[in-house]
Structure 1
Amino acid sequence: MSNLIKTILFLVVSAFLTHLIPFSDFFRNLDTMIHEFGHAAVTLLLSGKVMYIELFSNHSGVTYSQVTRHWSLIPIALAGYMTASLFAVFLFRQRAKGRQRFGLQVMTVIAIVALAFFIRNEFGVMWVLGFIVLNTVMLTFMPRWLCDLYYLLVAFLTLEESVFGPFSLILYALQDPAQAGDATNLAKVTPIPSVGWAVFFTLFALWCAMRALRWFFSGRQRSPQAGRDTAYRRQYED
């Protein structure tokens, strides 16, 4: 069985299981926040202006921005889904390296920056505040095993959303090409139709998911420093 088929089956089973976990929907908005944050970051890098971001309870979001250069719409539109997919890989890579605390800290910092500069609607503000508080509690007061379990849940939910989000975009593009979000925006400035961009986002997300799951199944790795410290202790004991 090819790695792609294994990845799809694993994600389907994972999505089914995580939907059984109470309040799991709360964490699915992390993917939305990262998606919109990606749009905002690239807009600023290209000297555009980000007015504000809105996050909604149905896991959708929108970034309102202004740009002066027409070509910049392409990298800005690309940034959302691609940033979310790459962030999922980042989370699993940190877990494989035993750096879950660092991964949680990065999530929290992004949420703080997004809240301070971009997110303005009521649901978005309340969700980000709750996410920041929960992460802070986990990092400060919870035992490591619970913090690691929390991290794994958030990582898997983010991975699932990073794949199923662009897949649903294909369905939107087929039903109404003018209502396919980033794919529609790209179709307006390129010769590629919105369904083509939706397929591209989905394939990129699946490629990232395969890499993320490779990190997951590879297990944790000891840092070189930890290995040296062990060697020093053994030498001292001998």
Structure 2
Amino acid sequence: MIRTILFLIVSAFLTHLIPFHDFFRNLDTLIHEFGHAVVTLLLSGKVRSIELFANHSGVTYSQVTKGWSLIPIALAGYMTASLFALFMFRQWAKERQRLGLQIMTIIAILALVLFVRNEFGMMWLIGFVILNVIMLSFMPRWLMDIYYMLLAFLTLEESVFGPFSLILYAWDDPAKAGDATNLSHVTPVPAIGWALFFTLFSLWCAARALKHFIGGRKKSRRPEGQRVQYE
């Protein structure tokens, strides 16, 4: 776990040196809010809108009739973001970066058409979709791979540092800890407990993601002297 945290700190330092890196950090916010929206719809709720902001924050406005459904909906944001970061690295290990980019693009289009209504959010989604289409259609494979890994690492970093910041918010003022606060209102667990849960889950996903990055593409070797005949 400590090695994962150190790796993420170094990764965050390096990605901050890349121009325009801030633009892509909203991908984690998009996945977070999209997770809230999808679970709301699965539980027969109504999603009124999603707003994405320039400071990488976001909010989903929804309406539900079943009180218990607030729990899975509140859980969905951070957990979906962490699982999606893991998914991105798993696709990289399987050399399916194109599929990963296609899925990101589809999510962005669905969010734009169905949910996002504020000006910044809509403009960011349009720009992100156009850039993805350019990468998928016109750029060489090596450049698309670099672009994909930039998105993967930024999403992984945000998926961990977001829940960690939630611990600080919950410690300072439990009423301002977002999803952790919402969960504390409908469960006996305090906001800081939920913030710790989100952080530990994100670190677990990050450790598995980094395993895919470090060793996922190692190909097995045949023992020396073994001969194989193909017909």
Quickly name the TM-score band, shorter chain normalised: over 0.9
- Corresponding position of 1:162: 159
Where does structure 2 lack aligned partners over 5 or more consecutive residues? Answer: 220-227
Distance 1:221 1:100 in 2: 17
One-letter code aligned to 1:169: L
**Residue of structure 1 aligned with 2:134, choices 134, 137, 161:** 137
The answer to whether structure 1 residue 126 and structure 2 residue 123 are counterparts is yes
User: Kindly tell me: are residues 174 and 112 of structure 1, through their superposed partners in 2, closer, same or farther at Cα, counting changes over 3 Å?
Assistant: same
- Corresponding position of 1:115: 112
- Corresponding position of 1:235: 230
Distance 1:215 1:193 in 2: 34
Task: Kindly state the Cα deviation for residue 186 of structure 1 after the two structures are TM-superposed.
Answer: 0.2
- Calculate the TM-score normalised by the size of structure 2: 0.95
**Residue of structure 1 aligned with 2:65, choices 65, 68, 75:** 68
The answer to whether structure 1 residue 151 and structure 2 residue 129 are counterparts is no
Task: Kindly state the Cα deviation for residue 8 of structure 1 after the two structures are TM-superposed.
Answer: 0.2
- Corresponding position of 2:176: 179
Q: State the percentage of identical aligned residues.
A: 75
The answer to whether structure 1 residue 204 and structure 2 residue 201 are counterparts is yes
Task: Kindly state the Cα deviation for residue 219 of structure 1 after the two structures are TM-superposed.
Answer: 3.5
Distance 1:161 1:83 in 2: 12
Task: Kindly state the Cα deviation for residue 153 of structure 1 after the two structures are TM-superposed.
Answer: 0.4
- Corresponding position of 1:47: 44
Distance 1:16 1:159 in 2: 13
Distance 1:216 1:162 in 2: 16
One-letter code aligned to 2:230: Q
Over the aligned positions, Cα root-mean-square deviation in angstroms equals 1.4
After TM superposition, the runs of 4+ consecutive aligned structure 1 residues lying more than 6 A away are: none
Once the two structures are superposed, what CA deviation does each residue of 1:76-134 show, in whole Å capped at 9, x if it has no partner? 00000000000000000000000000000000000000000000000000000000000
Distance 2:93 2:81 in 1: 19
One-letter code aligned to 2:68: W
Contact in 2 for aligned 1:98/1:221 (Cα 8 Å): no
Where does structure 1 lack aligned partners over 5 or more consecutive residues? Answer: 223-231
- Corresponding position of 1:227: none
Instruction: Give the number of equivalent residue pairs.
Output: 224
Distance 1:218 1:50 in 2: 40
Distance 1:235 1:159 in 2: 42
The answer to whether structure 1 residue 78 and structure 2 residue 78 are counterparts is no
- Corresponding position of 2:27: 30
- Calculate the TM-score normalised by the size of structure 1: 0.92
Please state which structure has a larger fraction of its residues in helix. Answer: 1
